[in-house]
């Protein structure tokens, strides 16, 4: 018999190519009254589980994990973990969670056409689109409010030159960068080069905004390269780190990009926005309403996409495994 020290039941899916690993069992009981408090308790006491479950040899740099927890204010609760940071909100992960709930039978056409999900960023509503056979064909997230944080920031980046960006919140902070203005093509074969340039831009932005109260306590804005073919359609390539990009168009990034277009008057409230990843797979976004956040005009954006289950598995940790903590190769 294999001498085990731990085992975790998970279901993996991908949303437009980006993975979501829903961790169904093995997480210790967490303290706190809200999802945010439970997430923070996990980070304080059990952060070692994050690289163990997400990094090699059981995962990879781009893996995103979702930990379901109880919610007192919504139908479900969950927080998101990734290879480098904790995510307050994750659009592709929420779509992946909806697919997982449908796959396990926890939701169905009989349970309804939506559910609410408490995340560390707040409560979101997840609309469910069922096909004629009762399968989930898409999920449509009504995201937390998105708003423009900083406009016209210019940073000088070695190997890239001057970069102009606006920083927008969509559940996480995103630095929006027009790839065409830098002569960059958003194509699969250029992913490594794009990650290196994006990571350099991200570091320059992190240095430039250090000490600004608006961004304190949040991960540095990730760089969302876009190439627009019209005001309502663009290709997205989101650089997270020098070895990690979002394979999907990024749900919260799509929310940020649409909010930015509305703010600039390049998109009208009644128009849909279509974001595609470098493989041509789309997310569709629309404006569900408006509000304000601390005096800033904010948009409530809906993002629609689909996920696909890739595996169900039990992740084992043998007692004498020298790589049980996980590793990343950068």
CA distance 10 to 176: 34
Percent of the chain with pLDDT over 70: 99
| Ranges assigned E (strand) in 16-73 | 18-23, 64-69
CA distance 149 to 54: 31
Instruction: Count how many residues are written for the chain.
Output: 330
82 plus 52 within the same structural domain:
yes
Which tokens hold the place of 31? 């303290």
**pLDDT > 70? residue 69:** yes
Are 198 and 223 in contact by the 8 Å Cβ rule? The answer is yes
The total number of structural domains that make up the chain:
2
Identified catalytic residue from 16, 184, 195, 250: 250
User: Is 111 inside any structural domain?
Assistant: yes
pLDDT one-digit tens code per residue, 198-224: 999 999 999 999 999 999 999 999 999
215 plus 193 within the same structural domain:
yes
194 plus 57 within the same structural domain:
no
User: Is 328 inside any structural domain?
Assistant: no
Provide mean pLDDT across the span 294-316.
Answer: 97
**Residue-level pLDDT at 53:** 98
Query: What pTM does this model have?
Result: 0.96
The confidence band for 2, taking pLDDT boundaries of 50, 70 and 90, is: low
Are 140 and 161 in contact by the 8 Å Cβ rule? The answer is no
Are 288 and 28 in contact by the 8 Å Cβ rule? The answer is no
Q: Give the contacts of 191 (CB within 8 A, at least 6 positions apart).
A: 237, 245, 278
Q: Mean pLDDT for the chain?
A: 97
Provide mean pLDDT across the span 7-22.
Answer: 98
**pLDDT > 70? residue 316:** yes
Closest by Cα among 248, 228, 121, 124 to 176: 228
pLDDT one-digit tens code per residue, 248-270: 999 999 999 999 999 999 999 99
Strands 114-119 and 76-82: parallel
Domain that holds residue 288: 147-304
Are 57 and 330 in contact by the 8 Å Cβ rule? The answer is no
**Residue-level pLDDT at 185:** 97
**Residue-level pLDDT at 117:** 98
Closest by Cα among 237, 249, 315, 330 to 57: 315
User: Is 163 inside any structural domain?
Assistant: yes
Are 236 and 305 in contact by the 8 Å Cβ rule? The answer is no
199 plus 167 within the same structural domain:
yes
The confidence band for 1, taking pLDDT boundaries of 50, 70 and 90, is: low
Residue 66 annotated in active site: no
pLDDT one-digit tens code per residue, 130-156: 999 999 999 999 999 999 999 999 999
For residue 39, give the 3-state DSSP assignment: helix
How many C-beta neighbours within 10 Å does residue 265 have?
A: 8
Are 252 and 172 in contact by the 8 Å Cβ rule? The answer is yes
Which tokens hold the place of 119? 């995340």
Provide mean pLDDT across the span 74-100.
Answer: 97
Identified catalytic residue from 62, 74, 90, 141: 90
User: Is 324 inside any structural domain?
Assistant: no
179 plus 83 within the same structural domain:
no
**Residue-level pLDDT at 298:** 98
76 plus 34 within the same structural domain:
yes
18 plus 161 within the same structural domain:
no
The confidence band for 4, taking pLDDT boundaries of 50, 70 and 90, is: confident
155 plus 287 within the same structural domain:
yes
Provide mean pLDDT across the span 299-314.
Answer: 98
User: Is 330 inside any structural domain?
Assistant: no
The confidence band for 86, taking pLDDT boundaries of 50, 70 and 90, is: very high
Residue 56 annotated in active site: no
101 plus 235 within the same structural domain:
no
Q: How far is CA 63 from the centre of its chain?
A: 11
**Residue-level pLDDT at 5:** 86
167 plus 293 within the same structural domain:
yes
Which tokens hold the place of 96? 């992946």
133 plus 172 within the same structural domain:
no
| Angle, helices 251-264/91-103, rounded to nearest 10 degrees | 130
User: Is 267 inside any structural domain?
Assistant: yes
CATH of the domain at 87: 3.10.310.10
121 plus 220 within the same structural domain:
no
């Amino acid at each position: 018999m294999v001498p085990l020290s731990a085992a975790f039941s998970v279901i993996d899916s991908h949303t437009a190519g980006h993975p979501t690993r829903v961790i169904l069992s093995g997480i210790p009981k967490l303290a706190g009254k809200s999802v945010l408090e439970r997430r923070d308790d996990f980070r304080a006491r059990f952060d070692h589980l994050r690289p163990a479950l997400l990094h090699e040899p059981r995962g990879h740099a781009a893996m995103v994990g979702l930990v379901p927890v109880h919610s007192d204010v919504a139908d479900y609760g969950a927080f998101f973990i990734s290879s480098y940071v904790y995510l307050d909100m994750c659009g592709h992960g929420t779509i992946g969670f909806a697919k997982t709930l449908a796959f396990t039978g926890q939701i169905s056409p009989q349970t309804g056409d939506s559910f609410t999900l408490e995340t560390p960023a707040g409560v979101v509503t997840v609309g469910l689109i069922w096909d004629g056979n009762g399968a989930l064909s898409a999920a449509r997230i009504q995201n937390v409010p998105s708003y423009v944080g900083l406009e016209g920031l210019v940073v000088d980046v070695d190997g890239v030159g001057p970069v102009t960006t606006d920083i927008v919140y969509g559940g996480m902070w995103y630095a929006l960068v027009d790839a065409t203005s830098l002569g960059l093509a958003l194509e699969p074969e250029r992913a490594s080069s794009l990650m290196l340039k994006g990571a350099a831009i991200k570091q320059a932005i992190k240095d430039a905004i250090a000490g600004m109260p608006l961004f304190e306590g949040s991960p540095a804005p990730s760089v969302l390269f876009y190439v627009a073919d019209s005001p309502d359609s663009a290709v997205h390539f989101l650089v997270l780190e020098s070895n990690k990009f979002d394979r999907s168009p990024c749900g919260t990034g799509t929310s940020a990009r649409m909010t930015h277009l509305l703010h600039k008057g390049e998109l009208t409230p009644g128009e849909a926005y279509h974001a595609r990843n470098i493989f041509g797979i789309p997310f569709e976004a629309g404006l569900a309403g408006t509000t304000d956040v601390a005096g800033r005009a904010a948009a409530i954006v809906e993002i629609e996409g689909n996920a696909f289950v890739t595996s169900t598995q039990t992740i084992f940790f043998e007692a004498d495994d020298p790589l049980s903590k996980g590793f990343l190769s950068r």
